[in-house]
Amino acid sequence: MTRTPRPLRLALAAYALAASGLAQAAFPERPIKIVVGFPAGGPLDQHARLLSDKLQAVLGQPVVIDYKAGAGGTVGAQEVMKATPDGHTLMLANTGVMVINPALYSKLPYGTLRDFTPIARTAMQPLALLVNPKLPVSTLQEFIAYSRARPGQVNYGSAGNGGISHLVPEMFKSQTGLFMVHIPYRGSAPAFTDLMAGQVQFMAESIPQAANYHKQGKVRALAVTSRERNPALPDIPTAIESGLKNFEVVGFYGFLAPAGTPKDVVNRLSDAFKEVMGQAELRNRMISQGADPAFLGADDFARFLAQEMPRWATAVKQSGAKLD
């Protein structure tokens, strides 16, 4: 048997090591696609746009946003679930897609921790409780009294069945004993259009978009769902301040890749989000929009999701909401 000379073996080993390093360094090789399971113009879209340019600079490849709306984010989730697990297709998802849908839908085509690899949590997201500005109410208690006097006559809009904007009003109804009619939309943008037009009278929505419309006078914010008041709506009381005991509901945003994405790619993406989220300008813009910068890396985000899923399952059960 012929033995390879030692200098050649060392050279080959060095070459293999270099080739391995080049293979890892090659990611990303082409544009990164971020799938958003809701229409353009909503709060998830706003968050995606805020991060995409910064992420593009860090990763050295274009970052494009692809909208796959439908079924409370389920259509977009399925798109990413079936994508090649190489890190070039990511999902930006909210609380509804990640942890509410599994408890709300009896037949869900994906499992969050089974079919996806968590990459990074990027924000915690309180909501605002909103009404059409022509409604003769200026406080949450006045709205409760108004709705109680008109059972079944007050409609509330949501971004679609199964999202947090559906569940939070259900929790609100459960705690107050109100009877309001749910009108689901394909995303928050068309729901906002009908809220401003008076086709629906009430809505719970993420603060960045809610604050923008409130400041324009197109909707009226009555309360926020966080324990503390929000810097984007400093004059608006919390639901707890408004008399709803322990009513604290804060959503979150995060990025996931298809299950089976290589660990080195997951780490590269997670580190990229960490770098982006560490930029003071971006953090300040998020805060001004009403989102709380709240980065978690891949492993911590996975643990966070595992803790959140049973908590939201309990909330869904208590609300009585269930969808097929």
CATH number reported for the structural domain that contains residue 176 in this entry: 3.40.190.10
Of the residues 224, 242, 270, the one at which a domain ends: 224
List helix spans (H) across 156-279.
Answer: 164-176, 188-197, 207-215, 263-277
Q: Does 110 share its domain with 142?
A: no
Q: Does 82 share its domain with 154?
A: no
Distances from the Cα of 122 to the Cα of 133, 147, 188, 275, 288, angstroms = 32, 36, 20, 11, 15
Q: How far apart (Å, rounded) are the C-alpha atoms in residues 62 and 206? A: 27
Vertex 84 angle, CA 123 and 95, to 5°: 25
Cis peptide before 293 (omega within 30 of 0): no
Q: Which two tokens stand for residue 13?
A: 């080993």
Whether 9 is covered by a domain: the verdict is no
Q: Does 62 share its domain with 148?
A: no
What is the pLDDT tens value at each position of the chain, 324 positions in all? Answer: 455 555 555 555 545 444 444 444 589 999 999 999 988 987 788 899 999 999 999 999 999 999 999 888 899 999 999 999 999 999 999 998 999 989 988 889 999 999 999 999 999 988 999 999 999 999 999 999 999 999 999 999 998 877 788 889 988 998 999 999 999 998 888 999 999 999 999 999 988 788 889 999 999 999 999 999 998 899 999 999 999 999 988 899 999 999 999 999 999 999 999 999 999 999 998 887 778 899 999 999 999 999 999 988 887 887 777 776
Query: How many distinct structural domains can be found in the chain?
Result: 2
Range of the domain at 98: 31-125+250-319
The pTM for the full model equals 0.74
Q: How far apart (Å, rounded) are the C-alpha atoms in residues 289 and 266? A: 28
Of the residues 224, 242, 263, the one at which a domain ends: 224
Whether 25 is covered by a domain: the verdict is no
pLDDT for residue 9: 53
Would you give the distance in Å from CA 290 to the centre of its chain? 14
List helix spans (H) across 60-197.
Answer: 74-81, 95, 101-104, 112-115, 140-148, 164-176, 188-197
pLDDT for residue 171: 87
Residue type, 93: A
pLDDT for residue 18: 45
Whether 238 is covered by a domain: the verdict is no
Q: Does 274 share its domain with 299?
A: yes
pLDDT for residue 22: 42
Q: b/e string for 311-323 if b means 16 or more Cβ within 10 A?
A: ebeebbeebebeb
